[in-house]
């Protein structure tokens, strides 16, 4: 009887964070990118434009999780959708591009993420968005939401792709330009265009960002910046914006990749990490306490999963915040905190996937 009660309790907690979605339609965006649209569950899936969801698949007898940004707008699109770009050797991205079919039911973790904003019909803003490759995915949802909710606001996208046939959402972007001619603009930059291409070409650099945006922003007083794409492109774009005097708090960024091992090595070499020791900690997940040891060198998440503690997670690289918990006592070394806002860090939140114990009195609450 106790085991049955415990199982039902675990299923209830899991239901608070997880749900199943049925694939409605799969759209081929480019040769290596598909958009997957889901049937709306009951009740409707709630999300903010720019957020991501985590898919959970059983592939080859092993559970795998990946986070993908929603490309849809809850204010415009009837069905939520994600876009998945093929990654060489990528287990999940290749499955989505080659094997997934309509009718399949997929388990997900409910949407999360801070790469978003609130909208109001009285706002008069300029959404300035710089995207590269699949970084256009969350940008699309935010752009459509801004255009429909804020009739006095404008949207400009500087979008970097490899070639003409690799422009994700090409048709959708063209339709938005036709529909919102005076309020929506896309400037494409191609790194490997055909000889007939007359637009921006080559690698994105600071001068291109400045030249493209200076005239566009000349008469604007209320811009808001969104940057998403490959790490190098994002660094270039953010540095250019900051050199133009754009306040840091007006620049929102979303990273899809980070080399957490390299960052840890750098921190270790500079003496900024505590000695790696085996420590016992307490983690409270949805009200249930778990005490366990974290072996030297392992993260809190790794140790918990090794012991079958049902801790939420996805990217395991410090970006998605699925494993976010609040540090009630003790100290940790957090290798990567890119997924957290400054206010969250100040409030004591940590990412279990990139945190290692640095003291012996650690208590973490995950809700």
**Domains, the chain, with CATH or none:** 17-111 (2.40.30.10), 126-255 (3.40.50.80), 261-366 (3.10.20.30)
Q: Is 156 left (phi over 0), alpha (psi -120 to 50) or beta?
A: beta
Average model confidence (pLDDT) across the chain: 91
Q: Looking at residue 339, what is its pLDDT?
A: 80
Q: Looking at residue 219, what is its pLDDT?
A: 67
Residue 194: helix, strand or coil by DSSP? coil
Task: Tell me the C-alpha distance between 94 and 90, whole Å.
Answer: 6
User: CB–CB of 333/273 below 8 Å?
Assistant: yes
Q: What single-letter DSSP state applies at residue 6?
A: H
Q: What confidence tier does 240 reach under pLDDT thresholds 50, 70, 90?
A: very high
> Which residue has better confidence, 258 or 4?
258
**Given a cut of 90, is residue 137 above it in pLDDT?**
yes
Q: Looking at residue 12, what is its pLDDT?
A: 40
**Given a cut of 90, is residue 84 above it in pLDDT?**
yes
Task: Tell me the C-alpha distance between 172 and 142, whole Å.
Answer: 14
**Given a cut of 70, is residue 7 above it in pLDDT?**
no
Q: Looking at residue 322, what is its pLDDT?
A: 87
**Given a cut of 50, is residue 328 above it in pLDDT?**
yes
Q: For the chain, what is the total number of helices (H) and then of strands (E)? A: 9, 19
**Given a cut of 60, is residue 9 above it in pLDDT?**
no
**Residue-wise pLDDT tens digits, 176-212:** 999 999 999 999 999 999 999 999 999 999 999 999 9
- In sequence order, what are the beta bridge partners of 106? 21
**Given a cut of 50, is residue 1 above it in pLDDT?**
no
> Which residue has better confidence, 146 or 89?
146
CA neighbor of 129 nearest in space, from 151, 154, 111: 154
User: CB–CB of 160/204 below 8 Å?
Assistant: yes
CA torsion, ordered 203, 205, 208, 212, to nearest 10 deg: 110
Mean pLDDT of 60-78: 94
Mean pLDDT of 350-367: 94
Q: By percentage, how much of the chain surpasses pLDDT 70?
A: 94
Mean pLDDT of 277-299: 95
Mean pLDDT of 83-87: 94
């Amino acid at each position: 009887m106790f085991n049955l009660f415990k199982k039902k309790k675990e299923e209830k907690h899991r239901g608070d964070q997880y749900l199943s979605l049925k694939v409605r339609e799969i759209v081929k965006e480019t040769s290596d990118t598909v958009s997957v649209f889901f049937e709306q569950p009951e009740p409707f899936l709630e999300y903010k434009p720019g957020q991501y969801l985590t898919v959970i698949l059983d592939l080859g007898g092993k559970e795998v999780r990946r986070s993908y940004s929603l490309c849809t707008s809850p204010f415009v699109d009837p069905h939520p959708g994600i876009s998945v770009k093929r990654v060489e050797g990528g287990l999940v991205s290749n499955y989505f591009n080659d094997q997934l079919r309509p009718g399949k039911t997929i388990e997900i973790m409910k949407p999360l993420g801070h790469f978003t904003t609130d909208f109001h019909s009285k706002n008069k803003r300029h959404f300035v968005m710089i995207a590269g490759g699949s970084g256009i995915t969350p940008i699309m949802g935010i752009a459509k939401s801004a255009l429909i909710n804020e009739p006095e606001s404008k949207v400009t996208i500087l979008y970097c792709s490899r070639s003409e046939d690799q422009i994700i959402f090409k048709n959708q972007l063209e339709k938005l330009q036709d529909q919102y001619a005076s309020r929506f603009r896309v400037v494409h930059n191609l790194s490997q265009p055909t000889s007939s291409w007359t637009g921006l070409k080559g690698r994105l650099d600071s001068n291109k960002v400045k030249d493209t945006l200076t005239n566009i922003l000349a008469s604007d007083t209320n811009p808001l910046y969104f940057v998403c794409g490959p790490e190098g492109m994002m660094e270039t774009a953010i540095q250019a914006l900051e050199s133009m005097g754009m306040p840091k708090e007006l620049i929102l960024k979303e990273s899809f990749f980070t080399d957490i091992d390299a960052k840890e090595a750098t921190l270790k070499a500079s003496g900024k990490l505590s000695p790696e020791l085996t420590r016992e900690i307490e983690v409270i997940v949805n009200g249930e306490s778990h005490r366990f040891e974290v072996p030297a060198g392992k993260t809190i998440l790794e140790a918990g999963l090794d012991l079958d503690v049902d801790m939420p997670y996805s990217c395991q690289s410090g970006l998605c915040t699925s494993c976010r918990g609040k540090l009630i006592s003790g100290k940790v070394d957090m290798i990567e905190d890119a997924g957290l806002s400054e206010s969250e860090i100040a409030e004591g939140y940590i990412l279990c996937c990139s945190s290692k114990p640095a003291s012996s009195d650690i208590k973490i609450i995950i809700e």
